[in-house]
Amino acid sequence: MAAFTLEGISGGNAVFNPEKLEWFNNQHVMRLPAEDLARRLEPLFCEAGLWDPAFEGERRRWLLRVLELLAPRIKRLPNAVDQLRPFVTDVPTTTRPR
């Protein structure tokens, strides 16, 4: 117990920083191999009705390439669905306010 002292402990309150959390999340996503990222996103795509069985077959390589391109923009996995939607659907959607 002699190695621990209270001298280095600050008296300030802890501060939660959501921007820093998003940055950490993004760093983790960018370090994931595209195959792992695809596996983690599959349930979210299924839930959104966007999963194509071809993503497990002939279109797998294409999906992995798109994920590699978009990984730097993915801050949270649930947001990745909206970012990838234009690549996996033929129906354009608008999210701009009127």
* Contacting residues for 31 by C-beta, under 8 A, at least 6 apart: none
Supply the DSSP symbol for 5: -
pTM of the model: 0.74
Residue 24 lies in a domain: no
Q: Which residue has the higher pLDDT, 48 or 2?
A: 48
Q: Is the pLDDT of residue 86 over 70?
A: yes
* Structural domain harbouring 75: 33-88
Residue 14 lies in a domain: no
DSSP 23-85: HHHHHHHHHS-HHHHHHHHHHHHHHTT---GGGGTTTHHHHHHHHHHHGGG-SSHHHHHHHHH
Residue 48 lies in a domain: yes
Asked whether 85 and 47 are in contact (CB, 8 A), the reply is no
